[in-house]
């Protein structure tokens, strides 16, 4: 039995884990890499498995970095069931259809840009090819290290750690305190070519496979970076997203008999994708402009979903039984517990995948479920080395910021992910209004997906915690701000700029890598009366992380702009557990047990974290008595 870490390994995004036994093969999560172009290019490398050989996919929750590659894998031949909670299926429907539609739109814009800027397009293609080859080499290294481990049990793969993002108030850009200019894009290496040695060298002079799912004319990752006239691939530019209506899918109340589902093809070992890539003939003409999938592909993948409730064990593949329990992260999010028997009559192994763990005592959703027994644990580490502010402090900062904007006839812009964070921000603003602690400013909810996600939240009170259920029982509506204006089309979004001040905007996406929020940033970046308030994690290399770290200039639409607006951050609204909460959840596996006892994990793997976060968390996990490691990307680990 072995486990391969195909994503969320020394990086936060791209969650994907391949579990292989003598009788079955399943994926846990199937997410997209997000953030900088050097991260998102990983979505383009050939799959490390034959999708036709998978028995099932299990999905922890509906965020794009956990579900975003599902349509691609289905398009490539996967025909089995995708198991998720009912709430996750409804939210994933929004996310995947929107992702497919955006990829189509971005690809068309990219083609127009390339026709008008052929020289710059060629340079971007060379840079993207270098990034692609570097990603292939890194994946190859992960597999090679699995066969020939270095023996260094303490090193964290992925290179030197970047500085952690500041917690609390961010430094004010443009002031002496912010110091120097912080770059706002990831630059190619000085030579402008792929790193020498390894997989990149071995493939030089060879022709790639012709596969539009992986290649096409590409100067950006279509799912994440948006080209416009005058802008480069890593330039932050604006995208607008209108979402087509969809029919609700029927979801079973309980897991059906697996024998009623389509049978998977006989199990075989998929060829090594790097070997297959290197075996092609002699011309290199890489085009990476085609979308990984379109809206039709996304819609087709929805037919594979099968719903389950919490705390219901069922067989997902021969010898593999799964139970989904509440992770408290977003609506329907799950910790997945597996009971696995590698071969007939063999010993049972228990594997726990934390997914993204929520926080205790936060609004709307229940706390993460306590799990106490496992042989192997994969735990997220997004906030390793960091602590969130206490809830009261986060609410105080939010109220103070609203007053600041009101007193100066300014604008408050909150970049927020459409699912989870937006609902919590609106909840807190509604509570502050009810308590008379902030003025009733207009709130523009400028995210069609967030509006639809909020409707799904309202339809599932069975996922709520007791406090939220009590408010609903008292005829209150904590998911709706009393002076809320929902903007559903692009013209309404653009008209916000001319609205009477002061006002607030909540728009996605949360890391400023695209979406309507970047259009608002364009209007407000050099406005001293505007405040950009970050309320969630900012991935390394994203525009959000650079602003949070004190950048004094940014490039928007190809033009350098001065940062004159105020930048503030609140970590207390994060939907991720901080370091203390991660350690508290993990310590339940050791309570009343010692190493070697039944239920005490043989190994703990830190996933879903940047290298600096994992380096901070790793010794503290080991201090709890666990044998803990940080797996590399594409590393394969034997589970004994």
**Are the C-beta atoms of 603 and 627 separated by less than 8 Å?**
yes
Instruction: Please state, in angstroms and rounded to a whole number, the distance separating the CA atoms of residues 422 and 460.
Output: 16
Q: Is 132 exposed, middle or buried (0-12, 13-18, 19+ CB in 10 A)?
A: buried
How many Cβ atoms from other residues are within 10 Å of residue 381's Cβ? 30
Query: Coil, strand, or helix at residue 601?
Result: coil
Q: What are phi and psi of 439, to 5 degrees?
A: -70, 155
User: Looking at the DSSP assignment, which residues form a beta bridge with residue 415?
Assistant: 507
Q: Is the dihedral of CA 100, 250, 30, 324 positive or negative?
A: positive
Distance of CA 232 to CAs 119, 229, 399, 518, 538, Å?
12, 9, 38, 15, 21
For residues 398-426, give the mean pLDDT.
Answer: 90
Closest to 413 measured CA to CA, from 549, 531, 548, 555: 531
Residue 169 has pLDDT above 50, yes or no: no
User: Band of the pLDDT at 587, cuts 50, 70, 90?
Assistant: very high
Give the DSSP H or E segment for 196: none
**Are the C-beta atoms of 195 and 589 separated by less than 8 Å?**
no
Distance of CA 194 to CAs 204, 398, 611, Å?
10, 45, 22
**More confident of the two residues 480 and 217:** 480
User: What is the 8-class DSSP label of residue 188?
Assistant: P
Query: Coil, strand, or helix at residue 214?
Result: coil
List of residues 6+ apart from 473 with CB closer than 8 A: none
Least-confidence region, from 39-48, 100-109, 271-280, 386-395: 271-280
Instruction: Please state, in angstroms and rounded to a whole number, the distance separating the CA atoms of residues 606 and 637.
Output: 13
List of residues 6+ apart from 6 with CB closer than 8 A: 14, 16, 17, 18, 48, 633, 634
Query: Coil, strand, or helix at residue 588?
Result: coil
Per-residue model confidence (pLDDT) at position 259: 42
For a pLDDT cut of 70, what percent of the chain falls above it? 75
Tokens (6 digits) for 43: 């979505």
Closest to 324 measured CA to CA, from 599, 30, 29, 571: 29
Q: What is the DSSP string of 361-405?
A: T-SSBPPPPP----SEEEEE-TTTT--PPPHHHHHHHHHHHHHHH
Looking up tokens 């969130």, which residue turns up? 388
Least-confidence region, from 277-281, 396-400, 605-609: 277-281
Which alpha helices (DSSP H) does 444-488 contain, by range?
Answer: 448-458, 466-473
For a pLDDT cut of 90, what percent of the chain falls above it? 51
Mind listing the domains of the chain with CATH numbers? 2-234+247-385+576-631 (3.60.15.10), 391-569 (3.40.50.10890)
**Are the C-beta atoms of 441 and 503 separated by less than 8 Å?**
yes
pTM of the predicted model as reported, rounded to 2 decimal places: 0.73
Looking up tokens 């303490």, which residue turns up? 154
Query: Coil, strand, or helix at residue 505?
Result: strand
Residue 446 has pLDDT above 80, yes or no: yes
Per-residue model confidence (pLDDT) at position 112: 80
Packing angle between helix 448-458 and helix 86-116, nearest 10 degrees?
180
Length of the chain in terms of residues written: 640
For residues 118-123, give the mean pLDDT.
Answer: 80
Closest to 224 measured CA to CA, from 478, 507, 494, 14: 14
List of residues 6+ apart from 269 with CB closer than 8 A: none
Residue 580 has pLDDT above 90, yes or no: yes
């Amino acid at each position: 039995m072995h486990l391969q870490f195909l994503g969320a390994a020394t990086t936060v995004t791209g969650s994907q884990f391949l579990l292989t036994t003598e009788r079955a093969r399943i994926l846990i999560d199937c997410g997209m890499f997000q953030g900088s172009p050097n991260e998102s290019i990983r979505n383009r490398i050939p799959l490390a498995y034959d999708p036709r050989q998978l028995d099932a996919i299990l999905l922890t929750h509906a965020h794009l970095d956990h579900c975003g590659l599902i349509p691609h894998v289905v398009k490539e031949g996967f025909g089995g069931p995708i198991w998720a909670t009912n709430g996750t299926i409804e939210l994933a429907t929004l996310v995947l259809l929107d992702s497919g539609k955006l990829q189509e739109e971005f690809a068309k814009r990219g083609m127009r840009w390339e026709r008008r800027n052929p020289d710059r397009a060629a340079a971007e293609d060379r840079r993207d090819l270098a990034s692609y080859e570097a990603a292939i080499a890194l994946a190859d290294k992960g597999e090679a290290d699995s066969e020939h481990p270095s023996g260094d049990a303490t090193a964290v793969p992925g290179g030197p750690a970047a500085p952690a993002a500041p917690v609390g108030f961010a430094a004010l850009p443009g002031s002496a305190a912010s110091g120097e200019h912080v770059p706002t894009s990831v630059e190619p290496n000085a030579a402008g070519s792929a790193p020498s040695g390894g997989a990149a060298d071995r493939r030089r002079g060879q022709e790639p496979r012709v596969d539009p799912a992986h290649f096409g004319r590409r100067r950006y990752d279509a799912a994440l970076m948006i080209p416009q006239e005058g802008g480069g691939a890593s330039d932050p530019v604006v995208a607008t997203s209108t979402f087509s209506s969809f029919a609700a899918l029927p979801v079973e109340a309980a897991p059906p008999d697996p024998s009623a589902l389509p049978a998977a093809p006989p199990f075989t070992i998929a060829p090594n994708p790097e070997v297959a890539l290197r075996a092609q003939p002699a011309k290199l003409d890489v085009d990476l402009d085609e979308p990984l999938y379109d809206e039709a592909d996304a819609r087709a993948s929805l037919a594979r979903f099968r719903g389950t409730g919490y705390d219901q064990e069922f067989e997902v593949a021969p010898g593999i039984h799964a139970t989904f329990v509440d992770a408290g992260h977003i609506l329907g999010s799950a910790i997945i517990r597996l009971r696995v028997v590698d071969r007939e009559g063999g010993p049972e192994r228990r594997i726990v995948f934390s997914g993204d763990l929520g926080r205790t005592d936060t609004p709307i959703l229940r706390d993460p479920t306590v799990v106490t027994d496992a042989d192997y644990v994969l735990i997220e580490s997004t906030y390793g080395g960091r602590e969130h502010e206490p809830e009261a402090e986060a609410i105080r900062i939010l109220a103070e910021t609203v007053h600041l904007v009101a007193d100066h006839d300014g604008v408050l812009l909150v970049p927020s992910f459409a699912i989870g964070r937006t609902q919590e921000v609106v909840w807190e603003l509604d509570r502050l209004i009810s308590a008379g602690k902030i003025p009733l400013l207009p709130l523009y909810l400028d995210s069609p997906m967030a509006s639809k996600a909020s409707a799904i939240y309202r339809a599932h009170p069975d996922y709520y915690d007791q406090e939220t259920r009590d408010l609903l029982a008292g005829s209150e509506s904590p998911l709706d701000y009393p002076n809320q204006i929902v903007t559903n089309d692009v013209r309404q979004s653009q008209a916000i700029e001319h609205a009477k001040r002061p006002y607030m905007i909540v728009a996605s996406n949360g890391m400023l890598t695209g979406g309507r929020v970047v259009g608002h940033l364009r209007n407000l970046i050099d406005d001293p009366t505007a405040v950009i308030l970050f309320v969630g994690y900012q991935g390394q290399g994203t525009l959000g992380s650079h602003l949070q770290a004190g950048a004094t200039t940014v490039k928007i639409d190809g033009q350098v702009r001065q940062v004159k607006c105020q930048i503030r951050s609140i970590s207390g609204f994060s939907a991720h557990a901080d370091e203390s909460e991660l350690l508290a959840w993990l310590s339940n596996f050791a309570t009343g047990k010692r190493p070697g006892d039944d239920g005490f994990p043989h190994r703990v793997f830190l996933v879903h974290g940047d290298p600096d976060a994992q380096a901070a968390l790793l010794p503290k996990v080991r201090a709890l008595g666990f044998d803990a490691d940080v797996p590399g990307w594409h590393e394969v680990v034997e589970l004994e």
